Homo-oligomer: A and B are copies of this chain.
Amino acid sequence: MENLRKYLPILTWGAQYSRQTLVNDLVVAGIVTVMLIPQSLAYALLAGLPPEVGLYASMLPLLMYAVFGTSRALAVGPVAVASLMTAAAVAQFADQGTPEYLGAAMALAMVSGLLLVGMGLLRLGFLANFLSHPVISGFITASGIQIAAGQFGPVLGIDVHGETLVDVLVSMYHNLGQLNTYTAAIGLASLGFLFWVRRGLKPLLLRIGLAERAADILAKVGPIVAIALTTIAVWSLGLEAHGVRIVGEVPQGLPAIALPPMDLSLWVKILVPALLISIVGYVESISVALTLAAKRRQRVDPDQELIALGMSNVGSAMSGGFPVTGGFSRSVVNFDAGAETPAAGAFTAVGIAIATLFLTPLLYFLPNATLAATIIVAVLSLVNLGAIKHTWHYSRTDGASMVATILITLTHGIEFGLIAGVGLSVFLHLYRTSKPHVAIVGQVPGTEHFRNISRHEVVTDPQVLSLRVDESLYFPNARFLEERVNQAVAENPGVRHVIIVCPAVNTIDASALESLEAINFRLQDGGIKLHLSEVKGPVMDQLKRSHFLEELTGEVHLTQYDAVASINPDLASGATDAPRASTGSSATG
């Protein structure tokens, strides 16, 4: 039962469900439904799919999330970046407008969903960590730029194709002659209106006395007004006869429950794009969920969230939909409107179902240009070029990862951009730790403290060389340690004892152990003893599982002071005749 509760959070919150919560959740569902309808149509078009597919992807997935999800505010459904990724992935296997295209999109949702569920059951959520913040942030910025650029096609009535920003811009330039004045008028007017709604409406509403939260919500459902007005304009002025493209007939009725094409070779081919969509979607979703949960001190279980998001995608695949995830602005509206339980999401699904059953005829005259305008306004909030500057200023390696991810995504496509970004950030991380800081230390006179000889006035024994390593010892820096010890010994010919001081060493892996053994034997050949000092408990436990401690020519000392004292009691106590005092302001310390 405990396990069932864990995998079905609905059992927990459902048991405490009250009439007051119900009323609350119903109101929230109404607001989110109004916001979700245009978004789901627009993102379906962005993914290259018929508009109704967006509605289908906003029903069963929401019910699934209500059953499996742990966040009380997350609103799942089609989102911009996942839709762009879907378009890029599916275009490799089928032509837009064909049943194969829709089938591939459904299969993509299915594989992505199964991967997420699998990751959740196997507790592999840490995989998402491999997307470093600069990489995901750069990727989303690049996706936003590319989506916005592409949507200027429908806004102006121009055909635009291409998988990279460069292709999109070139195709837009070539097709500029197709520009339709009526479409452009509607598109640009919608764009202007939506920008005003975003920037100017909220202050206005506040001025006329609305509460902050209500103003926020009203500003976010603004797109429905643009949709209503432009639909009426097209209908009343007969603009479709002048070449304004409209949504047209949207099938009325709920989607049939069916499996996506069970074509194993297709499933294998879409594995990599499905994995990328899964991880990007999960990272977006869990960030929103954690942020909103923290505001009310609620818990979100990251592994269960993988299962919930996976089941949502499986649900989408089985009801004619495409990949979905938790959307940022939608979840914030859900939260601000006061969603108390995931039931709000379930009621939203019902709202969308009602719309699909009864309201689709109203969408007939809706111009595509308006939907494209809503996408542009929505995705521009994803573009954060200022983050490049901050990140670069904070860390060169992180800044480089971010810039590379953006440039590669825009020039070589989104999948390659994402993979290259992850590869680069892992590489730069390994590079950064491959040459750790190693200081030669000496004793601060009259104390038991040891400090860098290039930074402090310390006493050293010419027979004893103490090297403090400020990093865990593992394969990226194992050989570096060998070289560093070799170099230090070659530079100090009188040395008889080398002490490696290990307070910052959190682990010693097999490569580093091999290096330590090599160092030990090489020093032995040169008549020098190797000692360790200040080894942490867990590291010592690990070393005891090898033969290293038996082979070690010197000893392991609890503290560096003990080490020096056992080798040269006179020096340690300050009574030596010939201390070598190093002082200085060298920058190497």
Contacts and interface: CB of A to CB of B under 8 A. Distances in A.
6 contacts: A130-B475, A290-B486, A295-B522, A295-B525, A295-B526, A299-B490
Interface in A508-551: 509-511, 513-515, 518, 521-523, 525-526, 542, 545-547
Contacts of A478: 129, 132-133
Contacts of A542: 394-395
A483 interface: yes
Nearest to A487: B299
A511 B294 contact: no
A430 B423 CA distance: 12
Given A126-B476, A295-B525, A431-B126, A395 B486 contact: no
A395 to B, nearest CB: 5
Given A394-B545, A546-B390, A434 B522 contact: no
B435 A126 contact: yes
A382 to B, nearest CB: 16
Contact of A430 (B130, B391, B480, B546): B130
Contacts of A225: none
Given A129-B434, A291-B518, A394 B513 contact: yes
A131 B521 CA distance: 22
Given A297-B489, A522-B294, A133 B480 contact: no
A429 interface: yes
A510 B391 CA distance: 6
A136 to B, nearest CB: 9
Given A132-B478, A132-B509, 6 more contacts: A129-B475, A129-B478, A134-B511, A294-B523, A299-B490, A471-B506
A5 interface: no
A357 to B, nearest CB: 39
A393 interface: yes
Interface string A460-472: 0000000000110
A130 B433 CA distance: 11
Contacts of A518: 287, 290-291
Contacts of A129: 430, 434, 475-480
A518 B283 CA distance: 14
List the 9 closest A-B pairs by CB distance, nearest first. Answer: A294-B522, A132-B475, A398-B510, A133-B511, A126-B434, A295-B525, A133-B514, A132-B511, A129-B476
Contacts of A426: 426, 430
Interface string A117-154: 00000000010111111100000000000000000000
Nearest to A128: B479
Contacts of A393: 545-546
Number of copies: 2
Interface string A273-306: 0000000000000110011011101111010000
A299 B435 contact: no
A547 B390 CA distance: 9
A432 B433 CA distance: 15
Contacts of A510: 132-134, 391, 394-395, 398-399, 402
A192 B194 CA distance: 86
Contacts of A525: 294-295
A52 interface: no
Contacts of A434: 126, 129
Nearest to A519: B294
A304 to B, nearest CB: 12
A21 interface: no
Contacts of A482: 290
Contact of A293 (B397, B486, B546, B547): B486
Contacts of A380: none
Contacts of A431: 126
A129 B478 CA distance: 7
Interface centre among A429, A504, A522 (most CB of B within 10 A): A429
Contacts of A298: 490
Nearest to A476: B129
Contacts of A391: 510
Contacts of A477: 129
A429 B295 contact: no
A230 interface: no
A177 interface: no
A553 to B, nearest CB: 13
A582 interface: no
A68 interface: no
A334 interface: no
Given A522-B290, A525-B295, A546-B390, A511 B475 contact: no
